[in-house]
A = this chain, B = another copy of it.
Amino acid sequence: MTSQMAQQRFSTEQAASDIEAAIEAVERAMLGVVNSRVTVLREASQHILEAGGKRIRPRLLMLSYLALGGTDYDYAAPAAAAVELMHTASVVHDDINDHGVLRRGRPSINAKWGRTFALLTGDFLFTSVYQLMAPYGALNQILADAATALVEGETLQAEAVKNNDFTRSKYAEIIALKTAALFQAAGDLGARLANATKQQIEAMQSAAYNIGLAFQIVDDILDIVGDEATLGKTAGIDIEQGRGFVSAQTNGHQTTHEHKGDVFESVKAKLMKGDYLEEARAQARALIEMAIEQIKTLPESGARLALIELANQVVDRDF
């Protein structure tokens, strides 16, 4: 083994252990802030947090931070925790509106505690985001913008479903708002917390934004081809609700509750044969390639390598 190779291996191992330590700091920050005096808020929040989830948004933030020279996990972790809790809050409210009963392999909060407490737990997770971000001063604007975009995207989606108006361009607008904006905020916050240059911040914003778009497209594909046990959440909701990538391709084909099983199976069969899914996968892959190019403008490091790996995993996953 050459000394350069040893150096390389050492730094990769070091980076991996740094990244794991960083993610553990995020978990601590999340569990810390939801430790409410109110039993049901504490237990319902722990229920969904302990179920895991991919943690892709906080990982993106921490990797962006580490890749741009940040070293103090405990400084960046609460911001990463805030980004993940913002996502979690929206998921909890989403499960109320969609009647989702399974989430991260567990009963949804809605299913286990009922609608009233699910609504309040979602609200509590929102206020926890605010708690975590309060010490970050001017950086609050970044997450405020992403939070607004997220709710706007969810609402546009609900409107499109209601009006049976789910076009391709509407789909693009929705996933930009409901998913890519929060990913972008994660990349952005990580870079700014590391005192990155303007150019580096912009590179991470763009990369994270593109990863977010790809992530949502793949999520929508998996909603069709994945099975519930692997996904850990109620599958087929998108088709049932007439939304998501596929509905956009088929121009808002909407089904009813009564015939869910039949219609779902037939739409699915049709799509699995068609080119829709392949086209969507190709789009996601193209977005990831762009993201990787942007990431490659950052200085070489173990964290940069991990960012590229994260980007690739977004399209290569089956859950």
Chain A contacts to B: CB under 8 angstroms: 36-41, 90, 93, 96-97, 115-117, 119-120, 122-124, 126-128, 130-131, 133-135, 137-138, 140-141, 143-145, 147-148, 150-152, 154-156, 158-159
Contacts and interface: CB of A to CB of B under 8 A. Distances in A.
Contacts of A144: 127, 130-131, 133-134
14 contacts: A37-B152, A38-B152, A93-B119, A97-B116, A97-B119, A116-B158, A124-B151, A127-B148, A127-B150, A130-B144, A131-B148, A133-B140, A134-B140, A137-B138
A120 B37 contact: no
Give the number of copies in the complex: 2
Contact of A93 (B40, B41, B123, B148): B123
Contact of A39 (B124, B137, B159): B159
Given A38-B156, A39-B159, A159-B40, A141 B134 contact: yes
Contacts of A150: 127
A120 B128 CA distance: 18
B126 A123 contact: yes
B97 A155 contact: no
A123 B137 CA distance: 22
Nearest to A121: B155
A93 B97 CA distance: 13
Contacts of A138: 134-135, 137
B41 A120 contact: no
A155 B37 contact: no
Contact of A120 (B120, B130, B134, B151): B151
Nearest to A125: B151
A213 to B, nearest CB: 19
A173 to B, nearest CB: 9
A119 B94 CA distance: 9
A41 B117 contact: no
A106 B152 CA distance: 24
Nearest to A114: B162
B120 A155 contact: yes
A158 B138 CA distance: 36
B40 A124 contact: no
Contacts of A123: 90, 93, 122, 126, 151, 154
Contacts of A140: 130, 133-134, 140
A291 to B, nearest CB: 26
A180 to B, nearest CB: 16
A90 B93 CA distance: 14
Nearest to A158: B116
Given A36-B152, A152-B36, A152-B37, A147 B159 contact: no
B119 A96 contact: yes
Given A119-B119, A130-B147, A155 B93 contact: no
Contacts of A154: 120, 123
A120 B158 contact: yes
A114 to B, nearest CB: 9
A86 to B, nearest CB: 9
